[in-house]
């Protein structure tokens, strides 16, 4: 998986980028005990992105996670143990200008850097003996990263997980306060999530908050309806808005992710459930 030269995007205008990205610096002093930090070079001029890997077992599945536009990697330190405790390794990726990363964010750089990060992670996993299946996951803005990667490299990912994802860029930009349709920009010029997910046949899991006012649940319904996956799950979290889906979903949120991954990887088969039940009965 190799990134080509950065392709220009019609969204890369200062007035548009200011509605898409909200970078902030990382003021945390140190990584948690189970977190390993990586500084990944994404350009020839020295731009590097600060990512973090939380691990539990080298045989466990791995999630490559892309966060939302107002978040940073260290925001997830508090819940990383929910993934590792469920037997999932999770690698948190980021964008230029976020956390301890250098550079300035842009849409064109985002797509380019995603490929660099995914390629770096794959090489690291191979060289260090990690054998679990790789999944891509994106929350909010991060859904564009995850969808784009899986649509480009379907054979490199076992499945796709989306949290608070959007289907169409133009309506979202307008809700965020900027009508980019006035710039003669079409959906094809934007993130184009809906068209890309039609190509994805990898198993797909979609979460969305029932009361999400930033990205209405209808956006997730579009993605679910248009997804090319034969195996797909759709979960609406009652009472949750855009920023409370994890806190309201609670343990059920993480259990759903684990069950999805176990099913996709073949761990959650009826034979294994029967063996597990028999083992418990014999104790």
Of 224 and 8, the one with more pLDDT: 224
pTM of the predicted model, to two decimals? 0.92
Q: Residue 27 has what pLDDT?
A: 72
pLDDT greater than 50 at residue 279: no
Sole residue written with tokens 């390794």: 89
Query: How far apart (Å, rounded) are the C-alpha atoms in residues 153 and 146?
Result: 11
Q: Residue 271 has what pLDDT?
A: 47
Query: How far apart (Å, rounded) are the C-alpha atoms in residues 146 and 143?
Result: 5
Sole residue written with tokens 């996993």: 125
Residues 142-189 pLDDT 10s: 999 999 999 999 999 999 999 999 999 988 888 888 877 777 888 999
Sole residue written with tokens 């054979």: 155
């Amino acid at each position: 998986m190799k990134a080509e030269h950065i392709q220009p995007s019609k969204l890369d205008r200062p007035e548009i980028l200011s509605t898409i990205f909200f970078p902030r610096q990382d003021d945390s002093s140190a990584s948690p005990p189970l977190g390993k930090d990586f500084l990944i070079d994404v350009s020839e001029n020295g731009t590097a992105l600060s990512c973090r890997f939380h691990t539990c077992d080298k045989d466990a599945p791995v999630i490559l996670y892309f966060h939302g536009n107002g978040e940073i990697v260290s925001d997830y330190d508090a819940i990383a143990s929910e993934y590792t405790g469920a037997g999932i390794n999770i690698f948190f990726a980021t964008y230029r200008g976020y956390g301890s990363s250098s550079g300035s964010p842009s849409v064109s750089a985002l797509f380019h850097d995603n490929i660099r990060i995914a390629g770096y992670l794959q090489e690291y996993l191979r060289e260090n003996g990690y054998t679990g299946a790789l999944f891509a996951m994106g929350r909010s803005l991060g859904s564009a990263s995850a969808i784009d990667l899986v649509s480009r490299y379907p054979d490199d990912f076992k499945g796709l997980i989306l949290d608070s994802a959007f289907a169409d860029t133009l309506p979202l930009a307008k809700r965020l306060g900027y009508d980019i349709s006035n710039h003669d920009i079409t959906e094809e010029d934007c993130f184009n999530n809906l068209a890309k997910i039609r190509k994805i046949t990898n198993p797909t899991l979609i979460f969305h908050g029932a009361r999400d006012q930033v990205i209405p649940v209808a956006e997730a319904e579009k993605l679910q309806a248009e997804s090319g996956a034969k195996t797909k799950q759709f979960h609406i979290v009652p009472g949750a808005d855009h920023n409370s889906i994890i806190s309201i979903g609670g343990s059920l949120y993480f259990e759903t992710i684990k069950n999805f991954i176990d099913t996709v990887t073949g761990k959650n088969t009826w034979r294994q459930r029967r063996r597990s039940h028999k083992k418990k009965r014999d104790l």
